[in-house]
């Protein structure tokens, strides 16, 4: 049985490790990448290459990506199963924290399985593209049905067999395999990007669910305050100290508070169902453990920009795709080199009564078709990918501008509410409550102060939620939508497979 080449074994090991460990690429992948880049050091004529994968830059990028992965990505997921097993929903009231939810998402979100299969597909293409052509066995018979006078059972003039074999020239198979191995390297980065999408969405919806739960609790307080205000208005009216208008106003405010509480309840249930859809199992009845308000050192815009442009999996994938396009050019440039077809075999000449042998060598003459159009298309793809890298960089910077605006705004407002507005509102409420106990303040004033205090906390929750969402997006390279299909290595319009991949 034929054994896989060392390069193919390395690529298979690389694919298994890179996704399961949640890293953009492994050290093994970098070594394979550098080994293949050394062979691709020269540029196609007329197309200067940009050295986007200098070893020093690669090592720095790799180290930073691994640090981000260890700090931000969840523990490794279980290996994909051939048959998906439905996992039972969590029990009602079971406590789940964010790391547990991330681990469940890595086991159950289907897009992560798709991303792993994208790597397997590219490795399978690399295997197929590097396989040598099969020999062809041909039966030969000449003048088999010629009528011979006096002979009713003639075998014909000649019977024999021939075996032909195509001899592939110009290292076409090695170049084909190299191209698809580079595409497998692209899918590793895309798999990492998909894992960030899933993790970012789980984090965002986790914080949204925490915020929704806090709003339910705050609206419950407001509802109790509205009930007390309605009772107080009726008592004051009975004592002749309030008008009928005040009773109607209190009743309206009570109904509005009850509807607001119902909206908060529905919003919380919706957030838990959305979280369940992202994870892949029902966690809507679970009890989330975590804090919405956390104290982290704020990011400057330049720090966020450098973080994004130096380690974004989308940019790493685009740069790896440039290497794959370069390998495609080298492969297409040798396609016109003709292969040899060698054939030969034994036979028997019945007329001469002797055993004979046939031999032939055929060679296509590349007189008209020298693969000119496909080479031009591959070079155009390479130039387009150069511009694609720049496009992604500008798109990320544009997206970062809006996300960082929301982040800075939410950070400043959250800090102000936590440190000044909410403490002041609480102090106002406490002082009025003490004054009421000492018969120096009216009870409606105490209820109004309590309503203002609760509303200030609700506004703080809104800014905390916005801050967490923006922070997750910045830390997670602006990747989101954890149910978007996993991307493949080849964008639309690029030169791709023929019946025999090359």
Q: Which residues contact 464 (CB under 8 A, 6 or more apart)?
A: 211, 292, 293, 410, 414
- So what's the pLDDT on residue 237? 92
Residue 145 confidence (pLDDT): 64
The two three-digit tokens of residue 176, written as one number? 């084909």
Torsion of CA 282, 286, 289, 291, to 10 degrees: 70
pLDDT in tens, the chain (502 residues): 334 444 344 333 333 333 343 333 333 333 333 433 343 333 333 333 333 334 444 455 445 445 544 444 444 444 444 444 456 677 788 999 999 999 999 999 999 999 999 999 999 999 999 999 999 999 988 877 655 565 556 677 888 999 999 999 999 999 999 999 999 999 999 999 999 999 999 999 999 999 999 999 999 999 999 999 999 999 999 999 889 999 999 999 999 999 999 999 999 999 999 999 999 999 999 999 999 987 678 999 999 999 999 999 999 999 999 999 999 999 999 999 999 999 999 999 888 889 999 999 999 999 999 999 999 999 999 999 999 999 999 999 999 999 999 999 999 999 999 999 999 999 999 999 999 999 889 999 999 999 999 999 999 999 999 999 999 999 999 999 999 988 888 766 666 645 456 6
Distance of CA 411 to the CA centre of its chain: 28
Q: Tokens standing for 460?
A: 């703080």
DSSP H helices, 1-97, are 6-20, 27-39, 55-72
- With a CB cutoff of 8 Å and minimum separation 6, the contacts of 7 are 32, 177, 181
pLDDT at 488: 86
Note the pLDDT of residue 35: 38
Residue 153: per-residue pLDDT: 61
pLDDT of residue 30: 39
Strands 287-289 and 95-97: parallel
**Paired tokens of 456:** 């200030």
**154: which 2 tokens?**
């003639």
Q: How far apart are CA 109 and CA 68, in angstroms?
A: 21
Class of domain 6-133+168-202+267-336+371-475 as given by CATH: mainly alpha
* Per-residue pLDDT, 48: 33
Q: Give this prediction's pTM.
A: 0.78
Separation of alpha carbons 38 and 45, rounded Å: 18
In sequence order, the 6+-apart residues with CB closer than 8 A to the CB of 36 are 178, 181, 182, 323, 327
Q: Please, how many CA atoms are within 13 Å of residue 373, restricted to the half-sphere of its CB? A: 2
Residue 493 is given by DSSP the state: T
pLDDT of residue 50: 31
The answer to whether 65 touches 23, Cβ cutoff 8 Å, is yes
Task: For residue 165, give the 3-state DSSP assignment.
Answer: strand
Nearest of 313, 292, 320 to residue 196 by alpha carbon: 313
Residue 348's nearest CA partner among 161, 158, 141 is: 158
First-to-final CA distance of the chain:
24
Task: Report which secondary-structure segment, H or E, holds 452.
Answer: helix 443-475
Per-domain residue ranges for the chain?
6-133+168-202+267-336+371-475
């Amino acid at each position: 049985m034929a054994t896989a080449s060392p390069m193919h074994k390395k690529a298979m090991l690389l694919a298994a490790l890179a996704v399961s460990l949640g890293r953009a690429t492994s050290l093994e992948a970098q070594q394979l990448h550098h080994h293949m880049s050394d062979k691709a050091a020269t540029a196609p004529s007329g197309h200067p290459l940009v050295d986007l994968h200098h070893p020093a830059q690669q090592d720095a990028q790799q180290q930073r990506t691994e640090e981000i992965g260890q700090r931000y990505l969840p523990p490794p997921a279980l290996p994909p199963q051939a048959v998906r097993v439905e996992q039972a929903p969590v029990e009602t009231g079971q406590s789940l924290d964010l790391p547990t939810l991330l681990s469940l998402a890595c086991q159950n979100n289907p897009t992560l399985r798709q991303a792993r299969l994208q790597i397997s597909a590219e490795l399978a293409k690399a295997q197929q593209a590097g396989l040598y052509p099969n020999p062809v066995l041909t039966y030969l018979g000449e003048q088999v049905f010629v009528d011979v006078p006096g002979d009713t059972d003639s075998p014909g003039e000649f019977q024999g067999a021939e075996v032909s074999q195509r001899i592939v020239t110009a290292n076409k198979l090695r170049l084909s395999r190299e191209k698809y191995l580079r595409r497998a390297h692209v899918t590793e980065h895309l798999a990492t990007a998909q894992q960030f999408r899933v993790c970012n969405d789980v984090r965002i919806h986790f914080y949204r669910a925490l915020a929704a739960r806090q709003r339910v609790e705050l609206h419950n307080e407001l509802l109790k305050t509205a009930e007390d205000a309605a009772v107080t208005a009726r008592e004051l009216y009975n004592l002749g100290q309030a008008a009928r208008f005040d009773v109607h106003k209190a009743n309206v405010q009570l109904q509005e508070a009850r509807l607001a509480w119902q909206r908060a309840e529905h919003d919380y249930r919706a957030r838990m169902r959305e979280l369940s859809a992202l994870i892949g199992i029902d966690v809507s009845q679970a009890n989330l453990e975590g804090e919405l308000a956390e104290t982290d050192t704020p990011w400057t815009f330049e720090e966020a920009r450098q973080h994004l442009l130096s380690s974004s999996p989308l940019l790493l994938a685009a740069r790896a795709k440039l290497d794959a396009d370069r390998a495609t050019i080298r492969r297409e440039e040798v396609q016109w080199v003709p292969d040899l077809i060698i054939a030969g075999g034994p036979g028997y000449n019945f007329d001469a009564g002797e055993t004979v042998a046939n031999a032939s060598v055929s060679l296509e003459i590349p007189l008209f078709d020298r693969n000119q159009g496909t080479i031009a298309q591959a070079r155009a793809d390479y130039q387009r990918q150069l511009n694609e890298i720049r496009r992604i960089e500008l798109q990320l910077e544009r997206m970062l501008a809006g996300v960082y605006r929301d982040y800075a705004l939410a950070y400043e407002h959250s800090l102000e509410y936590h440190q000044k507005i909410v403490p002041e509102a609480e102090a106002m409420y406490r002082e009025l409550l003490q004054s009421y106990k000492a018969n120096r303040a009216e009870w409606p004033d105490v209820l109004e102060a309590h309503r203002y205090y609760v509303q200030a906390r609700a506004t703080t929750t809104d800014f905390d939620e916005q801050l967490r969402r923006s922070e997750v997006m910045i830390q997670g390279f602006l990747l989101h939508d954890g149910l978007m299909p996993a991307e493949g290595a080849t964008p639309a319009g690029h030169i791709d497979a023929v019946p025999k991949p090359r």
